[in-house]
Structure 1
């Protein structure tokens, strides 16, 4: 049994995700989660949208070159010394949570990090489906307040 990953999601990140999902509907959209690891917690301070020109109602793909550009701009703009990549987010305009492919993707990405990575799926009903993975294994999430 894996231990839960405590997660703090700042209001600004929630707002960015919700607003971008609303603008993109009925297509998917997504982007990067920015923040830092504080002891055993993942702090999500900001989210940035990374537009996929080929997005559809059932697909959004993180384009690596666009994602890196967005990450570099966001880190320079936000100016927090601990700010960095802590995961991905995307929207599902249909009635579904994170797909098996979504979970495989975050698990695979987490193999490159010592700390957990997050995946947030903004569901059609406004609920944030939050997933975590560390070293290739899924973990439950314990959402906590700052």
Structure 2
């Protein structure tokens, strides 16, 4: 029996925050915290918080841990006691089309060593053919941490793909029409 691929499922609200903040900060990296819940060996990301990284550059992002803890505590304080939403990992952007660096993987494994359950790392590189790279780590017995590549499932686009134009015509309505969130 073949086990299904490990997945990180991005819900629309989390996707929109990550995509818009990545675009806003280009050409610098940005990032933050992923919130959601674990589902078997998968992670469902319902929210993404942005945590400024002092000194962020075109090839480096280090989040402000103090600010991250304040934002996380404020987010969790607004949730109902029976809400399963909690900390599930970290996200950041790469202006160049590349996945997680060795430093990213080491940092994720260190975070997983300190947590029970799954910890996801999501890297958004908008110029890449696959714009999201995902890893999921978990602390095993005796403190050993395992990490595994994960398929990232983004929500379906709210924009319609434009149809072909007749020869010589120019599209005046942009690349596609987007529907309001609903």
Q: TM-score, normalised by structure 2?
A: 0.71
Q: Map Cα deviations across residues 5-32 of structure 1 (whole Å, 9 max, x no partner).
A: 3332211111110100000011110000
Residue 104 of structure 2: SS of its match in structure 1?
helix
What is the CA-CA distance between 1:58 and the residue it aligns to? 1.0
Question: Which of 118, 129, 132 is the aligned partner of 1:128?
Answer: 132
What is the CA-CA distance between 1:77 and the residue it aligns to? 4.0
- 1:81 is matched with 83
Q: Which has the larger radius of gyration?
A: 2
What is the CA-CA distance between 1:83 and the residue it aligns to? 1.6
- 1:119 is matched with 121
Question: Unmatched 5+ residue regions in structure 1?
Answer: none
Change (3 A) 1:144 1:27: closer
Question: Unmatched 5+ residue regions in structure 2?
Answer: 140-144, 156-182
What is the CA-CA distance between 1:3 and the residue it aligns to? 8.2
> Aligned partners of 2:57, 2:154: CA distance in 1, in Å?
34
| Larger strand fraction of residues | 1
Greater relative contact order: 1 or 2 (C-alpha under 8 angstroms, separation 6 or more)?
1
Kept in 2, the 8 Å contact 1:33–1:88? The answer is yes
> Aligned partners of 1:102, 1:39: CA distance in 2, in Å?
24
> Aligned partners of 1:105, 1:4: CA distance in 2, in Å?
23
> Aligned partners of 1:144, 1:31: CA distance in 2, in Å?
19
